[in-house]
Amino acid sequence: MMKFNKLTETAQYMLYGIAGLFLVFLLLGILIIQFVYPFESLPDFALGLFTGCLVSGIRIVLMDKSINRAVEMEEKKAKNYNQLQFLIRYFIVIAYAVLLIVLHQYLGVFGGVLGLFCMQLAAYVANFLLRRKQ
């Protein structure tokens, strides 16, 4: 909990957004898998969604920490640092995508990809919550 409090307020709201989106997508996934997309089992979908949301959460924490560190650096060093952090975050996404492909019999690909997109949707949720708070 102590580490969570060290994150910026925006990052905290984004993580709350990912948790909420996980629950919403899990409930929608139950309906979609039952009636529309029967190609994945529900446990595989749920595990894929959970791991995708976990990867999105890791990316948010890494982005928050890199932005906070870069603000304190000189311009050229900050630019190089941000580029390296950007590559690290996208390497994580590529590694997870490869993991989804390799372990497709255990991890639901549809759920995993949906979990990866939770980061973008969580940004909108965080923006809405922060504006509502003001």
How crowded is residue 83: how many other Cβ atoms within 10 Å of its Cβ? 10
Residue 30: closest CA among 17, 11, 43, 18: 43
Overall number of domains in the chain: 1
* Structure tokens, 120: 């973008």
Give the distance, in angstroms, between the CA of residue 11 and the centroid of all CA atoms in the same chain.
11
Q: For position 16, what pLDDT does the model report?
A: 92
pLDDT values of the chain reduced to their tens digit, one per residue, 134 residues? 456 668 888 899 999 999 999 999 999 988 888 787 777 788 899 999 999 999 999 999 999 999 888 888 898 998 999 999 999 999 999 999 999 999 988 888 988 999 999 999 999 989 988 888 77
Q: What is the pTM of this model?
A: 0.87
Domain enclosing residue 19, as ranges: 2-133
User: How far is the C-alpha of 20 from the C-alpha of 122, rounded, in Å?
Assistant: 9
